[in-house]
Structure 1
Amino acid sequence: MIIVPEREIAGLMTRKAAFDAVEKVFAAMSAGDAYNFPVVREAIGHEDALYGFKGGFDQAGLTLGLKAGGYWPNNLEKRNLINHQSTVFLFDPDTGKAKAMVGGNLLTALRTAAASSVSIKHLARKDAKVIGMVGAGHQATFQLRAALEQRDFEKVIGWNLHPEMLPNIEKVAEEAGLPFEAVDLSGMTEADVIISITSSFAPSLMADHVSSGTHIACMGTDTKGKKEVEAALLETATVFTDEVAQSISIGEAQHAIAEGLISQNDVNELGAVINGTHAGRIDEDQITLFDGTGVGLQDLAVAASVVDLAAAKGIAIEVDF
């Protein structure tokens, strides 16, 4: 079995490699060549933690495995560790033997950012100039860096419940040579693309905060009860997702469906746009929304890439397991 420790991930996985892996697996899912297993996600009753498993099988890429991990909200304050902790396990689909164990913390950040970036590539207007960030935590910096590679953005605007965190994304904007402006949520009407990346259970972004023609990537809702945007926004938008089953059960669509604003048939696969079986954006005034719930196959795809790179560079740790 190969082990790729967390400390090696930064030197192996690039944003482009993560983007390519996620785009490819979304396409495979939509074509029926890959599928995710049901998600297990539970509050464990200790340290306020959420813990669970996401897994799947990509028959096209012969990738089988799971990611185990979750969210420990007290880690940063108590232990100077990031709050999201995870590990990816890969198995040989021919024999079932354990194939690899890969540090999943940075990979999770990169694959989540890649997913919203893929949605921007395929759904945002080509002339998008202003990108808005709702949320300014650790993951937001990854989101913004990846998104800025998809369009010729000229300005970054941002809002966060705790404004003292806004320098996190302001620094990324400055690195890219772009001006940054802190705004109220009503100021998001200036944005052509909005990324929402919070862990909220109450909506921040409302329908009247979004202008026509905007693309929204909702990346924080991955658990029953979480909610980043007003459900009415999904009624006015064309909704896309990584996986419909997750979107309607643990994603933003759970709320719009519960309120009777949309049905399951109104939720479309982003992979279908990639494959050309869905038109995606059809006019400049259309609001598009990507409900990024985070699927296990994303984790497996980036982990498999890392294992190949680690083996090629001779830094993979091999153990007899």
Structure 2
Amino acid sequence: MLLLRQRGSLSASQLADELEVSTRTILRDIEALSAAGVPVYVNRGRNGGFSLLPGFRAELMGLNQEEALALLTAGSIGGRQVFGLGSALSSAMRKVVDAIPAGHQAAATDAAQRILFEPQADLLSRYRLAEGISETVMNEVRRSVLDGRKLRIHYAAEGRDAAWRHVDPIGLVTVRERSYLLALVDGHDRTYRLSRVLAAEALAAPAERPSEVNLAQLWEARSARFRAGEVQFIVAARLDPARREELAETALAIVHETAESDGWLRMELTFQDLRHAAWAIWKLGVDAEALSPPELRDVLHQHAVEIAARYSPRGPTLATDA
């Protein structure tokens, strides 16, 4: 009904594509709308389709222009498929537009088009990689979380074989394009990355979890415990201060830092492991130097040797290759 109000005349196939259902379902829905008193009529002919009687309006609560703009802007965020709610979001946005007073609809939708939050690529065309989460898995996990039911997941932790686990789900969190399930197992906190859930099944039994929870506080507490208890790699480094924020974004934590006489920073940082530290330091090029541990310097030296060999000038015999 909202699609017909906003777009005028649409064919059954166009409605089916938009709503992700079959044309048979659309025809049944049109009959149901007519039976409920909604004035839907058919335009015959090559460019025909279904339309609403001009002036018909759904009974929805009105929004002021700023409220509508806030919702429309939120709906433009790149994470439309977060937690499998993309279709629901599209439907909600149609209702938002329809609820705006007629005189403000054009202004609100135009304003929303002029605000873009977190696009998929930055100015250097570096794209964020979306996580591969099965729609079936996401639907089962979300249903379990919202219904307060126990959940059975087939989970592949990093470096381990996949195994089935029974958990009591608490909530879902998305951080920097990564989605997590916060849960309890026998009363103990557990955090699962959704891209590593291979299969999921919402069970009939109710979850054993607190009736109320502050998800933001819970996430912060778990993050603090992770940083304190699971950090395994400490690095001492020198750094051009112009690159400090870039390194701070990739390290787990900055333990200590001081300014040296030459203007550079001497820092002590924590990383997940040797590979994580090597990647973070290497991408800063000559603007950073790892001082310790020795195995990190060895890895960076080996990378440098291999890169130098790859880009060394070709010898005279190679220059004649055709």
TM-score, scaled relative to structure 1:
0.24
TM-score, scaled relative to structure 2:
0.24
Which has the larger share of helix?
2
RCO comparison, higher one (Cα < 8 Å, 6+): 1
